[in-house]
Amino acid sequence: MRLALITIFALAFVAIAVFFLNAKPAVDPLLLKPAAFSYPESIKASCSKALPAPFSGIIDDNKTVSGAGYNLRTPSNYRPTIAHPLIIVFAPAGTHASRSERLVHLTKEATEAGFIIAYAHNIRLSLKAIEQLSSIPLDIQEKWCIDPSRIFYTGHSDGGTISNALTFLPEFEFKPTAIAPSAAGMDEKSLKEYACPAPLPVMVFHNKEDKHFEGFGKQAADWWAKCNQCEQTLDQPDENGCRLYKKCPESSKTYYCENSGSHAKWPDKNQALLRFFNNRY
């Protein structure tokens, strides 16, 4: 089991060069600004415990007790007594949180949809790094009003691998509600070394021209589909290149999404990802 992780860590180290040689995270700056969320009139206060000062908007340079760093964005009109869904974005290899934010440019769309979103700083992939990063959702829940039943993981390349690992490794007790890993460095050979976690919704993104982890996305999606008690056959792709595995339970729908692009390219299907996390896909 540890040998499979060591192989994954070695592949991630090579991915550092691939990512920095090819990634071009230029983006409209408006997509990086928190937006207001239209809170429903019927929404009720959920956080009764005393939380720290209700910081809102852009809050950078947060650090957990274990040393994991992250930047956080709330809706611009954040209400500190309302429980919000949380997205944690794990970064590609060698990438700081702000560059990861530019790459995925989820801030405006996520906060406008009512999410709080955190961008984790990358830590060179290892078991210790995964353990450190696992402390982020707990740290955020101590400082902001979060719905513990709606915590989601995503990330690209190294970040996709971490999203997967934190979900299936048994030593990490906290598990996300759903995950959407992109360009992860996990293939069938490495994944079959691990026992399935409890079923959960999964949306796997992987680009057709990803030569660094060629074929890994479909192999990982097949593994998750089996774990989630789905059939191994897929529906036709929709407008986002996403295909649903057939006969999945409602509580563990599994998708494989494939579009054009190299390993370094974020799939840029943000609205599809947010609909999936909102259980409306």
- pLDDT tens by residue, 106-130: 999 999 999 999 999 999 988 899 9
Q: What is the pLDDT of residue 24?
A: 52
Q: Where are the alpha helices (DSSP H) in the chain?
A: 2-22, 97-104, 107-112, 127-133, 136-143, 158-168, 188-191, 216-227, 270-277
CA angle 75, 68, 274 (to 5 degrees): 35
Query: What pLDDT score was predicted for residue 268?
Result: 94
Which of 50-59, 168-177, 179-188, 200-209 has the least mean pLDDT? 50-59
- Its pTM stands at 0.93
Specify if 128 maps to a domain: yes
Residue 83 confidence (pLDDT)? 95
* Percent over 90 (pLDDT), the chain: 82
Does a structural domain hold residue 235?
Answer: no
Q: Which helix (H) or strand (E) holds 267?
A: none
In a domain, 253, yes or no: no
Q: Does the residue 61 lie in any domain?
A: yes
Identify the band that residue 267 occupies on the pLDDT scale cut at 50, 70 and 90.
very high
What gap in Å lies between CA 166 and CA 11, rounded to an integer? Answer: 18
Mean pLDDT over the full length of the chain = 91
Report the interhelical angle of 158-168 vs 2-22 (nearest 10°). Answer: 150
pLDDT greater than 90 at residue 181: yes
Let me know if 189 is exposed, middle or buried by CB neighbors in 10 A (0-12, 13-18, 19+). Answer: exposed
User: Which carries the bigger pLDDT value, residue 220 or residue 25?
Assistant: 220
Residue partners of 1: CB distance under 8 A and separation at least 6: 193, 194
Q: What is the CATH number of the domain that holds 66?
A: 3.40.50
Does the structure show a pLDDT above 80 at 13?
Answer: no
| Confidence at 11, pLDDT banded by 50, 70, 90 | low
pLDDT score, position 54: 72
Summarize the confidence of residues 130-142 as an average pLDDT: 96
Residue 173 has pLDDT above 60, yes or no: yes
Segment holding 152, helix H or strand E: strand 146-156
Report, as an integer, the average pLDDT of 150-160: 97
Q: Which domain holds residue 155?
A: 2-38+50-200
What is the mean predicted confidence (pLDDT) over 32-60?
88
- Judged against a pLDDT cut of 60, whether residue 259 lies above it is answered with yes
Domain for residue 252, yes or no? no
pLDDT band at 138; cut points 50, 70, 90:
very high
- Which of 188, 183, 220, 185 lies closest to 202, judged by CA? 220
The answer to whether residue 8 scores a pLDDT higher than 60 is: no
Residue 218 lies in a domain: no
User: How many domains does the chain divide into?
Assistant: 1
